[in-house]
């Protein structure tokens, strides 16, 4: 099926958002399709995080429409979004510092010891670490050893762990839309590459991904489409093949526009 006929995983139409007298978003349209990575770019204060918050239901738009899988959604909040398969990847906010990596990843579905210890709720930690190591390997992600408490991790390791946690949960669901706000902001070269690979693999298995980033190499390596906000307005939305470094910079600074 051609992309224009297929339902968008998430579609925003005419979204505006005011914070008091500040107009953070002005009549923004944006679509992301299954299997597609849309990079959302723009200078500081352009409205990128606000747009992601509207997409995740964390903030209500002042006006405009949201449709998930081709269906308009009337009441949209994070719970509804999550039920419909739209997930925001929160960074270290989502992790519990005092618990180790495995427990953070398996939270709520920890494997229990064999009968009768399971009746008492005893967790099989060895098994849990094994499950976690396997999942991380499958995701192509390396962080610290699975039994290390999150509070001991470096900023980059925490970030990778948080992304892996979201990825594990979403992979189980099998499809949906993933929203990421600067997932590589605190990452070094190798970890950025790891997250890049993870984003691409998730898209290749059918997830729709919206990635906010200031990292242009990441954007070019991983995206299928590039959308740019400038002072709350969408000024560019093109296939990646139609963008290069200088055009993207011109859109970000507001010198040019391109909606294709």
DSSP 8-state secondary structure symbol assigned to residue 118: G
Rounded CA gap, 163 and 48, in Å?
Answer: 19
Select the binding partner of residue 35 from ligand ATP, Mg ion, none (C-beta < 5 to 8 A, by kind): none
Select the binding partner of residue 24 from Mg ion, ligand ATP, none (C-beta < 5 to 8 A, by kind): ligand ATP
Select the binding partner of residue 19 from Mg ion, ligand ATP, none (C-beta < 5 to 8 A, by kind): ligand ATP
Edge-to-edge strand order for the sheet containing 86-89?
A: 86-89, 177-181, 208-212, 37-42, 225-230, 233-239, 258-259
Phi-psi region of 182 (alpha: psi -120 to 50; beta: other; left: phi over 0): left
Cβ proximity to ligand ATP, 47 vs 57, nearer residue: 47
Residue 49 as a binder of Mg ion (CB under 5 A): the answer is yes
Binding site for ligand ATP (CB under 6 A): 19, 22, 24, 42, 44-50
Cβ proximity to ligand ATP, 18 vs 127, nearer residue: 18
Cβ proximity to ligand ATP, 48 vs 129, nearer residue: 48
Q: Between residue 92 and residue 151, which ones bind Mg ion under the rule CB under 5 A? A: none
Select the binding partner of residue 101 from ligand ATP, Mg ion, none (C-beta < 5 to 8 A, by kind): none
Nearest to 186 by CA among 162, 210, 169: 162
Rounded CA gap, 153 and 159, in Å?
Answer: 9
Residue 43 as a binder of Mg ion (CB under 5 A): the answer is no
Tokens of 234: 């969408």
Asked whether 104 and 152 are in contact (CB, 8 A), the reply is: no
Cβ proximity to ligand ATP, 20 vs 116, nearer residue: 20
């Amino acid at each position: 099926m051609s992309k224009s006929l297929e339902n968008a995983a998430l579609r925003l139409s005419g979204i505006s958002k005011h914070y008091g007298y500040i107009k953070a978003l002005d009549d923004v349209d944006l679509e992301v399709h299954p299997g597609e990575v849309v990079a959302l770019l723009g200078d500081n204060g352009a409205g990128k995080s606000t747009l992601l918050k509207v997409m995740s239901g964390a903030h209500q738009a002042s006006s405009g429409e949201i449709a998930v899988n081709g269906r308009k959604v009337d009441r949209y909040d994070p719970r509804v979004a999550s039920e419909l398969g739209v997930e925001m990847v929160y960074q270290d906010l989502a992790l519990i510092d005092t618990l180790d990596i495995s427990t953070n990843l398996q939270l709520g579905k920890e494997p229990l010891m064999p009968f009768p210890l399971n009746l008492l709720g005893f967790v099989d930690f060895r098994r849990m670490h094994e499950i976690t190591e396997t999942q991380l390997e499958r995701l192509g992600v390396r962080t610290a050893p699975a039994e290390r408490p999150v509070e001991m991790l470096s900023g980059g390791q925490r970030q990778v762990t948080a992304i892996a946690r979201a990825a594990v949960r979403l992979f189980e669901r099998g499809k949906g839309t993933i929203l990421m706000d600067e997932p590589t902001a605190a990452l070094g070269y190798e970890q950025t590459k790891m997250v890049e690979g993870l984003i691409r693999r998730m898209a290749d298995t059918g997830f729709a991904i919206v990635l906010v980033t200031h990292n242009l190499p990441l954007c070019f390596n991983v995206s299928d489409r590039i959308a740019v906000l400038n002072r709350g307005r969408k000024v560019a939305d093109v296939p990646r093949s139609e963008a290069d470094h200088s055009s993207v910079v011109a859109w970000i600074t507001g010198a040019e526009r391109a909606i294709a």
